[in-house]
Amino acid sequence: MPELPRGMKPRYVHVIDAVWHINAPHGQGMATARVSDVSAFLGVTTPSVTKLVGEMVDRGLLVKHANDTDRRAVTLTLTERGLAIRKAYVADYHAHLGELLAGITPEECATVARVMNRTLPLMRDDGWKATDNDRETNNRRMTDGKDDDES
């Protein structure tokens, strides 16, 4: 994936993609995406999306459209720059991954999905915590680049 432009946060790409998907059924020119829709789509709080939307409007990635009856309610559309960012960092990247992974069979994909679906809950539910010894070993690796058995 190409490096993001200067000042562009990865979270902006997620918001851009959410706005694109929410507006897609009506066309990108029709502002139907609300901040609450974006927050639900991404599974994050509305205040955090509100803050990101403000930053993105300032950077020319989104346009806020005021509601005629309720000035506090706004809908969102992507600017040409926002659409270009989505193309480069979502659509083109997914197409590239599709080409890269084209040789993997459906059976292989199903096997990977099964293993990941079994592994993820185990990792999530694991109560393991690093001990002081683990932290000390990790700190040593960070400073000298060697494991204990390499010393």
Distances (CA, A) of 99 to 3, 95, 103: 20, 6, 8
Distances (CA, A) of 95 to 10, 100, 103: 19, 9, 14
Note the pLDDT tens digit of each residue in 26-73.
888 888 899 999 999 999 999 999 999 999 999 999 999 998 888 778
pLDDT at 136 exceeding the cut of 70: no
pTM for this prediction: 0.69
pLDDT at 79 exceeding the cut of 70: yes
* 136: CB partners within 8 A, 6+ apart: none
Note the pLDDT tens digit of each residue in 81-120.
999 999 998 888 889 888 988 999 999 999 999 999 999 8
- Measured from the Cβ of residue 144, the count of other Cβ atoms closer than 10 Å reads 10
- Band of pLDDT at residue 142, cut at 50, 70 and 90: low
Q: What is the CATH number of the domain that holds 94?
A: 1.10.10.10
Residue 3 domain flag: no
Residue 39 domain flag: yes
Residue 89 domain flag: yes
Residue 59 domain flag: yes
Give the C-alpha separation, 99 to 140, whole Å: 41
Residue 88 domain flag: yes
- Tell me which of 131 and 49 has the higher pLDDT: 49
Distances (CA, A) of 69 to 16, 72, 83, 114: 26, 9, 28, 50
Q: Extract the tokens encoding 9.
A: 């946060």
Residue 91 domain flag: yes
Residue 137 domain flag: no
pLDDT at 133 exceeding the cut of 80: no
What total of structural domains would you count in the chain?
A: 1
What is the per-residue pLDDT for 151?
45
φ, ψ (nearest 5 deg) of residue 16: -55, -45
The answer to whether 76 and 35 are in contact (CB under 8 A) is yes
What is the span of the domain harbouring residue 23? 10-100
Tell me which H or E stretch contains 54. Answer: helix 46-58
Residue 112 domain flag: no
Q: How does DSSP classify residue 44?
A: S
Provide the phi-psi class of 31: left if phi over 0, else alpha when psi is between -120 and 50, else beta: beta
